[in-house]
Amino acid sequence: MLLLDSADVAAARRAADLGFVRGATTNPTLMAASGRRAEAVVPDLADILPGPIFYQVTGETLAAREAEARRFASLRPGRIAIKVPTTTDNLALVARLTRDEITCALTAIFSPAQVLLAVEAGAAFVIPYVNRTTRLLGDGPGVVHQMRLVIDALGAPTRILAASVKSPDEAVAALLAGAHGLTLPLPVIEALGEHPGSLAAIEEFRAAARSAG
């Protein structure tokens, strides 16, 4: 699964036009950059892209986060996944939401131990920050691999959606480490499809076609 990591509607339209980007992830930073209210952005993204749209709760209290999660999930029933930063209390929140069939993702997750509890809480997704984990712990893909081992050991349906991916090489490393999917900024998605060797070969084909004509 390939998702767009953006709350920008123009980027979502470009991603939708590509035909292989399924949905989008947002976070408070991306939402603020959009300059629009989240209640307006999330339905717009759902109307543009065919797959899930991830919204991250920001309430100051557990009760506020729960009310916020339920409110946003109701904007497009079955289409909105709720992102919740990983803490013990928030894991309990995810357990309550998933019992009511609200799709949840644990984000800002940095350890296999947290993934173990995410599985037990019923999270559909865990979202590790690959590049940030490398900067903090030394080996982001290595941590992703350990997370995948935990999920496989438990036989769980929880899927790893790798975020904080800054380059095509880092995207491939996350997948080879065991991530089930990627959420990427539009420039990284577009860069995945390009290579200097491809451009050189295309120019050779054009030159041959011109000479033949």
Q: Which of 149, 77, 187 minimizes the C-alpha distance to 126?
A: 149
DSSP letter, residue 1: -
Cβ atoms of 112 and 145 closer than 8 Å:
no
- Copy the structure tokens of residue 100: 């009511």
**163: which strand partners?**
129
Cβ atoms of 122 and 82 closer than 8 Å:
no
Residue of 83, 151, 163, 188 marked active site: 83
Q: Which of 191, 186, 189 minimizes the C-alpha distance to 7?
A: 186
**83 among known catalytic residues:** yes
Catalytic positions, please? 83
